[in-house]
Structure 1
Amino acid sequence: MVIDLMGGAQPSQGGDDLIKETTEATFMADVVEASQQVPVIVDFWAPWCGPCKTLGPMLEDAVRAAGGKVKMVKVDVDQNQQIAAQLRIQSIPTVYAFYQGQPIDGFQGAVQGSEIKAFVDRLIEQAGGEAEGGGLDEAVAAADEMLEQGAASDAAQTYAAILGEQPNHPAAYAGMVRAHIAMGDLDQAEAILNGADASISHAPELEAAHAQLQLAKQGADAGPVDELRAKVDADPDDHQSRFDLAQALHAKGMTEEAVDELLELFRRDRTWNDEAARAQLFTIFDALPAKDPVALKGRRRLSSMIFA
């Protein structure tokens, strides 16, 4: 992505500040160049925007809490219309995150504080850091490995032992949910998820487990891949069949192929069914580890379509 803004890039004031205002003249330095070091969150707002007045301070608090692992730049769209036009900002508040000069994530509208923290944590992890409160002890790592190797029952017992010591350990709690999903006991997985204490119910680990549960439920009703593929081949503009094909592919463990189909659907008609393709992509991305290559590649491709 190339940004050629009027006035060129000039050094911004207070280069070490975590949060700053930018202009068309300093956007390159404040965002694109600064994002070579750490992720930069860009908050597009305006003085007349009510939700912006709520979201902005929450973002600032989350950025400060991250202790320098991310930065934040605020763009007043009324004063910087060229930036807003080039990035196709159609409504506010809109938030984008840049890393190494490229947009890697974002959202629109006001969201809850837990979602903001998860967003910031995800950015830190994508940049190779460790989120605040992150890190898993050896027992959780061992249980995760058991689960990856297919020993879901053994993993569940290990997670249960960890929770016996720390009942609100978010990673172990989410692991219990994932273990029951792996065992095909979706009702129990949902019951465990619904029983999470309020203090961890919106932790990133549980949000990921929730996304995995959503996908597992969809997979239970997924149609035959070959039949759906034939429908899409016969009519590439059959958006429902393509969406159903993506669900069926994911249910078969073909995650990258599912992402490809959803990206193609988004490319053909991003507004179809209330942007269902985009929502499904984010569900898949949320269900994957932050550094998973399928998630990273998929997010980049989706961002390139959004910004194209």
Structure 2
Amino acid sequence: MTDISAAALRGAVDLSSLRGRAAQPASATAEAASAAPGAGGVVDVTDASFGEILELSRSVPVVVDLWAEWCEPCKTLSPIIEKVAREQQGRVVLAKVDVDANPQIAQAFRAQSIPLVVALIGGQPVPMFTGAVPEPQVREVFAKLLEVAAQNGVTGSVPVEGADGAADAAEPEEPAEAPLPPLHAEAYEAIEAGDYARAITAYQRALAENPRDEDAKAGLGQVRLLDRVQGLDLQQVRAEAAAAPRDVEAQFRVADLDLAGGHVEDAFGRLLDLFAEVEDDQKAPVRERLVELFELIGAADPRVVTARTRLASLLF
């Protein structure tokens, strides 16, 4: 079963570019209005309206189904996902995303293959499925999703239509959204402005105040990566790394770009190969960078587990 746990709620996928769309006035675009969940809590979502769904996930768990017309496995999985989502009676919202029509959402979720199904809890992504899976596994993971959502205080619901087509009388729960802590808000503002140095400082101050602030840890890892890759030319960076295979900084730059582009295994593999080849006095910085990237992706991710196992074998 896909690992869904409270510990998986990390900011490893950067959705900040989509978050701002929720602040648009309702009249800003006709597409944004389509984000209101329809019968059974199922809605088609676009690049323009996704911000509203992202904010809705703070009160109701959202399942995002990324699909395309040409995708044969999608035709098997999507009806199962929709069936199980409707059975939740409004406790889960299903957001359906056509990746061909909505490339920004696909890019934000690093959708290298579809079908890809990701949950959103409190604005944070949690992986569910990649590829078609049988209905019993879908039900099992939905049950786990509701458990994790409850552990994180996301227990609201949306109205659903009964047999007569009318919405149930119960109003959706709309708990008051807690404002971001001041230093987190400062970091978000800095990221939106492209001022990564100020965002790094804000997250570092947040961690100095509370070393257990997992959101600040995840945010700091993301913004450090963004800062490092800003302005890099991919072709030039790859050429420099190919010309100097043991140049630690050159290999770091390629790994950063790979990770930022969603090529996680390539980034890990490059740095693990580098760790095996460099002199002993250069191994410590390579190991530290690997650990930083592991934390960015999340300890439960199978790619991290595999890479950690190889690193352990190289260490001992």
Give the alignment's TM-score, normalised by structure 2. 0.41
